[in-house]
A and B are shown apart, each in its own frame.
Chain A
Amino acid sequence: MPAAILTRRGFLKTSGSLVITFSLGGLVSRSAAAASAPTAPDVWPFKTVAPDEVDGFVAIDASGKVTIFSGKVDLGTGVRTAMTQIAAEELTVPFGSVDVIQGDTLLTPDQGTTWGSLSIQNGGTQIRQAAATAREALLAQGAQRLGVKRDDVEVRAGRVVAKSTGKSVAYGALIGGKTLSLKVDQKAPLKDPSTYTIVGTPVPRLDIPGKVTGRFTYMQDFKRPGMLHARVVRPPAIKADLLSVDDSAAKQVPGYVATVRKGNFLAVAAKTEWGAIQSAAAIKATWSEWKGLPDEAKLWDFVRTSKVVKDEAVQTVGNSADALKSATKKLSATYNFAIQTHGSIGPSCAVAEFRDGRLTCWSASQATHLLRQQLAQMLTMKAADIRCVYIDGSGCYGRNGHEDAAADAVLIAKELDKPVRVQWMRADEHGWDPKGPPTLFDYRAALGEGGAPTAWESEVFIPYKPAKFTVPLVAAELAGLPADPAFPGNIQQSLAIPYGIPNVKATAHWLADTPLRPSWIRTPGRMQNTFANESFLDECAVAASADPFEYRRRLLKDARGLELLERLVKLAAWTPRAAGAAKAAGEVAQGRGVAYTKYELVRTYVGVVADVDVNTKTGAVQVKRFFVAHDCGQIINPDGLRNQIEGNVVQTVSRTLIEQVTFDRSHVTSLDWRSYPILRFPEVPQVVIDLIDRPKEKPWGAGEPTAAVVPAAIANAIYDAVGARLRSVPFTPDKVLAALKKA
């Protein structure tokens, strides 16, 4: 990982203004193998982090080394490499001369949470514009230095060159170590994509050599001098009160240092990690009883009867109520999607240290700027006195436990006045990370002449979304410290449909209550909503005895979407069929299903075909193959993009077939990989991809869209195979057998 080691700083007086310079060569160490940790510079603030300043994003040292300061972080997706490509391309410097520092509130601008498939689309675009502004300024300065006209110069590999004389001056010699002191110019001309040599190529990822040789420093590997190891002791029931603590046995554990108790927050710290684990196990705590969770067996009744805080019309076209009233052929269906967990392979981990009244907190948070606000709120401290630093953790697919582990470490470090590392155990992660909430849907449609829908109504029941984008910190809640209510993500998006149906009404019912602390998890809401939309559209196609591709083509007015469907037909060698036409022969039936979306109706187009085998005796579904046609506009790194798409498919096959959080009246009961299994190697499908590259278009996101279409494609393929409709995710064998009975 690029580790921020601030090795040399100086203060330069230039034209009366104070300019901070630093050795950029030492600021980051490019090699993923170098395991040095970010250390705290003693100058706070250290540099500008203003997102409208070029210096917020870009610094160039005397040797020409470029450092990019990115508020978006690499969650295992390859974003660091992609950002390096974008910056190197736009600045026109060698790829190897660019380093990226990510998610450090002292150094990087706040570019928003790393979520929503927006790292490239928004974060990369901001960095590209800052780089273009810098390049233009350097061209002007270079022309002046070379004594030629502005239109006589061009950039070649980090040097401004006079075309007439061939004389040149390096970026480093022009600006080396000084700030540019320029606003980002939104009109600075961008390079013509046809001249790109770095963007659009499959540059190998920078972090992989370190990761396959054990040299990469993950958050879980990070240490501070004098650091204590801590473990949290969570209540056995979510809202139980801590009545008493007996830590006499813990005190006997070698290495034990202290017990920390604050309200219902309980933790132990020790000199060694094993000491902390043993101490936590030895603590005897008595908790009050709490059974406030709903009955899991009646979860969907609970959701349906929860108080509605607000109804929101997500899409309205024509008058669906009238159209439904007068229709003769009508369809209706109810769908639901289980509560799911993030399930990172490495449980959350964080280190916190107070020094001179200031707090530094290292974590794998996808939102260090937001975390800083939350920690300030929890501690009633000034945000300016807190530095949150990102260090890569285990894959993160949304707001999981990282921020909570950070708050745990902060509380304990504050109590003990020592650097503290908190590592969650597997049960902490499975039990206490916030969850993708349960989602329930009702659908109605009317079909007209020829089977096309004349009316479409959808309703989704989802937990309420407050104004603030935060999920409360577990430590703050347990300790009774200030925290905001949970924001579950923009989970109403993608309920609106991309099809031309004359009467449409899509409604979100925002609910007052949901069983477990909700948050966003990959493709939040968009996955659930697209599952229901594309399943119900398939039901309409079946009712119309239409080929599902043909049916979609009839309803789609969007040329780019239609082109994608054409490519997908070819890729999957799809032959026209009435949906549900495949018939079981023997025990294992084969089927194929399609699903399509234009993500949130405004960006990435993706369509998939799933090939499945359904065992009619056991109810087991095996997904054999996925064909994906993908158009996210300009592609930055085609291999990185494929890696993301494959990951989307495999992870979502797992979520669709297997995953659901279980709970009793007190707490989550799926606390390990046995009770919350995920897809294993023998069950993983082949993934065949067709990338549609549009170098002249905007680059859109790819971390989520493919996941949106996976569940419906599987449901539709199962229907195709056996004529049974799966309307409840996950499609466990018992649900498949029950649907087969009804078919």
Chain B
Amino acid sequence: MATTVTLTVNGKTARIHVDDPQMPLLYALRNDLDLHGPRFGCGLGQCGACTVHVDGAAVRSCVTPIGNVAGKHVLTLEGLGSPEKLHPLQKAFIEEQAVQCGYCINGMIMQAKALLDSNKKPTEEEIRTELANNLCRCGTHVRIVRAIQRASASAK
């Protein structure tokens, strides 16, 4: 049933007209709001490419109905920082050159943010465990871990 969903995205109010409140949040972000940070990888909650934060928690936007996030705060990779004003995680990913194709990287950064929010100085093992359900096909893992360690070390 067509309806309008109001939510906050990257600090701004967004009103989205949807035909179906069951539509995953991912499509609203990508197509209605032109936010391309969150990516379509599987649509099944299996890979993590679509990860965003909803009220501070990392969620998979490909399996989160838009109707469920009405009134909530959504943060995407674009909201985390910009090329001019990088978030420490983004800065660390650049410094470590922790990207090959980069398709998975949105998920890696957003999931890592969830980890660092609750655990400022994770061990390497904790980082690997946190990212166990985020898939990367290019084999960028070793750099991704290093980037998260770097971001963690740079935090006060």
Chain A residues proximal to chain B, CB less than 8 Å: 31, 33, 35, 75-78, 204-205, 207-218, 220-221, 254-255, 272-275, 278, 343-347, 392-397, 423, 425-426, 639-640, 643, 646-651, 654, 672-674, 678-682, 684, 686-687
Q: How far is the CA of A684 from the CA of B24 in the complex (A)?
A: 31
Q: How far is the CA of A684 from the CA of B134 in the complex (A)?
A: 13
Q: Is the CB of B78 within 8 A of A673?
A: no
Q: Of A208, A397, A646, which one neighbours B102 at CB under 8 angstroms?
A: A208
- Provide the residues of chain B in CB contact with A425, threshold 8 Å: 43
Q: Is the CB of A216 within 8 A of B102?
A: yes
Q: Of B103, B105, B109, B128, which one neighbours A684 at CB under 8 angstroms?
A: B128
Look across to chain A and name the residue whose beta carbon is closest to the beta carbon of B32: A272
Q: Is the CB of B78 within 8 A of A214?
A: yes
Look across to chain B and name the residue whose beta carbon is closest to the beta carbon of A222: B36
Q: Is the CB of A395 within 8 A of B138?
A: yes
Q: Is the CB of B78 within 8 A of A346?
A: no
Q: How far is the CA of A216 from the CA of B100 in the complex (A)?
A: 13
Look across to chain B and name the residue whose beta carbon is closest to the beta carbon of A210: B83
> Least Cβ distance of A120 to chain B in Å?
16
Q: Is the CB of B49 within 8 A of A346?
A: yes
> Is B153 in the interface zone, CB < 8 Å from A?
no
- Provide the residues of chain B in CB contact with A681, threshold 8 Å: 127-129, 131-132, 134, 141, 145
> Is B82 in the interface zone, CB < 8 Å from A?
yes
Q: How far is the CA of A686 from the CA of B141 in the complex (A)?
A: 10
Q: Is the CB of B141 within 8 A of A254?
A: no
Q: Is the CB of B143 within 8 A of A345?
A: no
Q: Is the CB of A680 within 8 A of B132?
A: yes
Q: Is the CB of A204 within 8 A of B97?
A: yes
Contact with A along B36-48 (1 / 0, CB 8 A): 1111111110110
Given A221-B36, A345-B41, A673-B44, verify A651-B139 contact (CB < 8 Å).
yes
Q: Is the CB of B101 within 8 A of A394?
A: yes
- Provide the residues of chain A in CB contact with B103, threshold 8 Å: 76, 218, 344-346, 393-395
In chain B, positions 1-33 with a C-beta closer than 8 Å to chain A are 2, 18-20, 23-24, 27, 30-31
> Is B106 in the interface zone, CB < 8 Å from A?
yes
Q: How far is the CA of A208 from the CA of B143 in the complex (A)?
A: 13
Q: Is the CB of B137 within 8 A of A344?
A: yes
Q: How far is the CA of A274 from the CA of B24 in the complex (A)?
A: 8
- Provide the residues of chain A in CB contact with B57, threshold 8 Å: none
Q: Other CB < 8 Å A-B pairs besides A209-B86, A213-B83, A255-B19, 13 of them?
A: A78-B100, A205-B99, A212-B86, A212-B99, A344-B137, A345-B104, A345-B136, A346-B39, A640-B97, A643-B143, A672-B42, A681-B127, A681-B128
Q: Of B44, B125, B131, which one neighbours A426 at CB under 8 angstroms?
A: B44
- Provide the residues of chain B in CB contact with A346, threshold 8 Å: 39-41, 49, 103
Look across to chain B and name the residue whose beta carbon is closest to the beta carbon of A202: B97
- Provide the residues of chain B in CB contact with A215, threshold 8 Å: 36, 78, 82-83
28 contacts between A and B (CB under 8 A): A31-B83, A76-B103, A77-B100, A205-B97, A209-B94, A212-B105, A213-B78, A214-B36, A214-B37, A214-B78, A215-B83, A220-B40, A272-B31, A346-B40, A393-B103, A394-B103, A395-B100, A425-B43, A426-B41, A426-B42, A643-B140, A643-B143, A646-B143, A648-B139, A673-B135, A680-B135, A684-B141, A684-B145
Q: Is the CB of B143 within 8 A of A395?
A: no
> Least Cβ distance of B27 to chain A in Å?
5
User: Closest 6 interchain pairs by CB?
Assistant: A76-B101, A214-B37, A650-B139, A395-B101, A211-B102, A254-B19
Look across to chain A and name the residue whose beta carbon is closest to the beta carbon of B140: A647
Q: How far is the CA of A208 from the CA of B40 in the complex (A)?
A: 19
Q: Is the interface of A mostly helix, strand, loop or mixed?
A: loop
> Least Cβ distance of A176 to chain B in Å?
30
Q: How far is the CA of A672 from the CA of B35 in the complex (A)?
A: 26
Q: Is the interface of B mostly helix, strand, loop or mixed?
A: loop
Q: Is the CB of B78 within 8 A of A273?
A: no
- Provide the residues of chain A in CB contact with B129, threshold 8 Å: 681-682
Q: Is the CB of A673 within 8 A of B47?
A: yes
Q: How far is the CA of A673 from the CA of B46 in the complex (A)?
A: 7
> Is B81 in the interface zone, CB < 8 Å from A?
yes
Q: How far is the CA of A33 from the CA of B78 in the complex (A)?
A: 11
Given A254-B19, A274-B20, verify A211-B82 contact (CB < 8 Å).
no
Q: How far is the CA of A77 from the CA of B138 in the complex (A)?
A: 9
Look across to chain B and name the residue whose beta carbon is closest to the beta carbon of A342: B137
> Is B149 in the interface zone, CB < 8 Å from A?
no
> Least Cβ distance of A259 to chain B in Å?
18
> Least Cβ distance of A325 to chain B in Å?
46
Look across to chain B and name the residue whose beta carbon is closest to the beta carbon of A205: B97
Look across to chain B and name the residue whose beta carbon is closest to the beta carbon of A274: B23
> Least Cβ distance of B5 to chain A in Å?
13
Contact with A along B58-90 (1 / 0, CB 8 A): 000000000000000000111011110010001
Q: Is the CB of A212 within 8 A of B143?
A: no
- Provide the residues of chain B in CB contact with A211, threshold 8 Å: 99, 102, 105
Q: Is the CB of B137 within 8 A of A651?
A: yes
> Is B133 in the interface zone, CB < 8 Å from A?
yes
Q: How far is the CA of A343 from the CA of B124 in the complex (A)?
A: 27
Look across to chain A and name the residue whose beta carbon is closest to the beta carbon of B82: A213
Look across to chain B and name the residue whose beta carbon is closest to the beta carbon of A654: B139
Q: Is the CB of A673 within 8 A of B42?
A: yes
> Least Cβ distance of A608 to chain B in Å?
14
Q: How far is the CA of A392 from the CA of B86 in the complex (A)?
A: 23
Q: Of B2, B23, B39, B77, which one neighbours A213 at CB under 8 angstroms?
A: B77
Q: Is the CB of A273 within 8 A of B27?
A: yes
A31, A212, A272, A347 pick with most chain B CB within 10 angstroms: A212
- Provide the residues of chain A in CB contact with B138, threshold 8 Å: 76, 395, 647, 651
> Least Cβ distance of B60 to chain A in Å?
13
- Provide the residues of chain A in CB contact with B109, threshold 8 Å: 212
Q: How far is the CA of A206 from the CA of B46 in the complex (A)?
A: 30
Q: Of A76, A272, A275, A423, which one neighbours B100 at CB under 8 angstroms?
A: A76
